[in-house]
Amino acid sequence: MSEIVLHSPLEAAHLALGARLIPFGGWAMPVQYSSILTEHAAVRETAGVFDISHMGQVFVTGADHIAWLDTVLTNNLSKLAPGQGQYTIMLNESGGVIDDLIAYRLSENETLLIVNASMIAEDVSWMEKHLPPGITIRNESVAWAGLAIQGPDSAAIFAKVFPSESLPPRNGIAKLADGSIACRTGYTGEDGYEFFCPADLGIAFFEKFIAAGATPCGLGARDTLRLEMCFPLNGNDLSPARSPIEAGLGFFCDLEKPHFIGRETLLSQKSNGPALKLTAIELTEKGPPPRPHYPVLSADGETLGELSSGVLSPTLGIGIAMAYLPAAFSKPGTALLIDVRGRRFQAVTVKKPFLKKPK
Amino acid sequence: MSASEIPADLLFQSSHEWARIDGETATVGISDHAQSELTDVVYVELPQLGKTVDAGDPTAVVESVKAASDIYAPVSGEVIEVNPAVEADPSLVNTDPYGAGWIFKLKVTKPDQLPTLLTPQAYGELIG
């Protein structure tokens, strides 16, 4: 695991709640408070609150900043109005993923990027390397505390904490009267929002959301929730050696744009079909929880790759995982084997996501 | 967090397994402290019946949502019984670690190893 260098502004509150802290992306963050299974169920059935203070807030400003960001990010920011956001990806020259992030247009002159904790420095230095005059980048990651409130009750909880404010629509961003920020996104597949406030107010808001009915949830539940939805985790499912086309994220890459870094690789992979595809895999027999790096084999016993993510799905009660597999083995319904400590368990590829929620 | 339960009639090892000695048989499980540290146990991999193990050999695996943990044989012996109940309902390891959550039984082949295990007092000091 990575070395711990940073502490969340909410750490004292986590410890008071009996949380276990683990290193994640260079931060000490709660992995769970009481039980991953209980926290997972809270998000699916009521609402949970996660500390996401480790995530990065990077502000990009300048008259022409949108046109420039559209050359370093895959999605198309020019299609958004102020107040709207989109999931997007930063690529290296060969089309590999540096980071996946959400970009929100705050105004004509300013965009906020919410980036992964472990990649803040790398994202900023990559952008600075390509930065034209007239555009500025401000990394305010340390100044902000972040909370993700997720689950069917999350909107009702917002109304209790902020009786005179309203939530933005899906993928939208709203600045609240007190200067905090609410973004209608998440990483769980449930309705919810990510809330950012000055670091020294983090504990007070954390406690307000809990008092309004949200269950404190850690990174353990965050991982099981996101994997049920097949949301990729950078460092596990995304890497500088894999493109968003291989990761199944082509929807978030606007190849109609005349230029962005990594575009040529994506164009060629899209027209030829990617050799590897990030594939959803379910265990079809009772077995141990699948975990990252377990070997994946064809039904004939040929080694095809290894799991990039894997958990026992608390909602479905079966092992679920993802792996980059040769395209021929990625079609839903393909029988596979997962090797767990030398024992092989039956599995099958399925259509993403694992959890099919009624609309 | 509440203090862990440590029954007075058991022996322990520092890797948090307990052994209940009854004649030539050692029943093995994990301590209340261990289950509380692991949290939600979701899978138990039982050893093969008839397998012979040396003291300290990884003999079973207990998995929580986040991690897989080896369970080491406290003494040398032959696996003479496994607990199918924890295979069917792994949460028994959490809810009744010293009772219904036992994992396997060994026929002890080297009884002279027993004095090397920790007394309940010594184990209590270790985790205290």
Chain segment A193-212, per-residue pLDDT in tens: 999 999 999 999 999 999 99
Please indicate, yes or no, whether residues A42 and A147 belong to a single structural domain of this protein: yes
Number of structural domains in chain A: 2
pLDDT of residue A48: 98
* Mean pLDDT across B20-33: 97
Report how far residue A219's alpha carbon sits from residue A223's, in angstroms, rounded to the nearest whole number: 6
ipTM at complex level:
0.85
Q: Are B75 and B105 in contact (CB under 8 A)?
A: no
Please indicate, yes or no, whether residues A215 and A336 belong to a single structural domain of this protein: no
Please indicate, yes or no, whether residues A219 and A282 belong to a single structural domain of this protein: no
Q: Please say if the pLDDT value at position B4 is more than 90.
A: no
**pLDDT tens, A140-173?**
999 999 999 999 999 999 999 999 999 999 999 9
pLDDT of residue A1: 46
Please indicate, yes or no, whether residues A343 and A223 belong to a single structural domain of this protein: no
Please indicate, yes or no, whether residues A280 and A359 belong to a single structural domain of this protein: yes
Tell whether A33 is covered by a domain. yes
pLDDT of residue B66: 87
Please indicate, yes or no, whether residues A298 and A354 belong to a single structural domain of this protein: yes
Using a pLDDT cut of 70, give the percent of chain A over it: 98
Domains along chain B? 11-110 (2.40.50.100)
Tell whether A11 is covered by a domain. yes
Q: Is A160 on the interface with B (CB under 8 A)?
A: no
Residues of chain A neighbouring B40 (CB-CB closer than 8 A): 35-37
User: Distance (Å) from the C-alpha of residue A290 to the closest C-alpha of chain B?
Assistant: 10
Residue A236, CA distances (Å) to A39, A73, A97, A101, A293 in order:
22, 20, 12, 15, 9
Report how far residue B116's alpha carbon sits from residue A253's, in angstroms, rounded to the nearest whole number: 63
The answer to whether the Cβ–Cβ distance between A289 and B39 falls below 8 Å is no
Please indicate, yes or no, whether residues A284 and A356 belong to a single structural domain of this protein: yes
Range of lowest pLDDT (A2-6, A106-110, A281-285) = A2-6
Task: Quote the DSSP letter at residue A172.
Answer: B
Q: Of B45, B63, B65, which is closest to A36 when you measure between CB atoms?
A: B65
Residue ending a domain, among A207, A228, A249, is A228
Tell whether A99 is covered by a domain. no
| Closest B-chain CA to A37 | B40
Q: Residue A330, class by beta-carbon neighbours within 10 Å (0-12 exposed, 13-18 middle, 19+ buried)? A: buried
pLDDT of residue B70: 97
Residues of chain B neighbouring A289 (CB-CB closer than 8 A): 42-43, 63, 65, 68
Give the 3-state DSSP-derived string for A201-263, with helices as H, strands as E and coil as C.
HHHHHHHHHHHCCCEEECHHHHHHHHHHCCCCCECCCECCCCCCCCCCCHHHCCCCCCCCCCH
- Using DSSP, state whether A353 is helix, strand or coil: coil
* Mean pLDDT across A26-38: 95
pLDDT band per the 50, 70, 90 thresholds, residue A4:
low
Tell whether A292 is covered by a domain. yes
Residue ending a domain, among A173, A201, A228, is A228
CATH code, domain with A27: 3.30.1360.120
Please indicate, yes or no, whether residues A312 and A193 belong to a single structural domain of this protein: no
Residues of chain A neighbouring B65 (CB-CB closer than 8 A): 36-37, 220, 224, 289, 311-312, 314
A33, A340, A343, A345: best mutation site toward chain B, by most B Cβ within 10 Å? A340
A17, A22, A29, A32: best mutation site toward chain B, by most B Cβ within 10 Å? A32
Q: Please say if the pLDDT value at position A18 is more than 70.
A: yes
User: Distance (Å) from the C-alpha of residue B111 to the closest C-alpha of chain A?
Assistant: 31
Tell whether A36 is covered by a domain. yes
CATH code, domain with A338: 2.40.30.110
Query: Is-cis flag, bond preceding A168, omega within 30?
Result: no
Residue ranges making up the domain that contains A316: 275-359
Tell whether A339 is covered by a domain. yes
* Mean pLDDT across A333-344: 97
| Closest B-chain CA to A312 | B65
Mean pLDDT of chain B: 95
Report how far residue A106's alpha carbon sits from residue A179's, in angstroms, rounded to the nearest whole number: 13
B83: its two tokens: 């607990």
Tell whether A233 is covered by a domain. no
Please indicate, yes or no, whether residues A179 and A32 belong to a single structural domain of this protein: yes
Report how far residue B103's alpha carbon sits from residue B30's, in angstroms, rounded to the nearest whole number: 8
Please indicate, yes or no, whether residues A220 and A150 belong to a single structural domain of this protein: yes
Q: Residue for token digits 């050799």?
A: A275
Q: Please say if the pLDDT value at position A96 is more than 70.
A: yes
Please indicate, yes or no, whether residues A13 and A156 belong to a single structural domain of this protein: yes
Residue ending a domain, among A191, A207, A228, is A228
Tell whether A176 is covered by a domain. yes
Interface of B with A in 70-109 (CB under 8 A): none
pLDDT of residue A2: 53
- CA angle at residue B75 from B74 to B79, to 5 degrees? 95
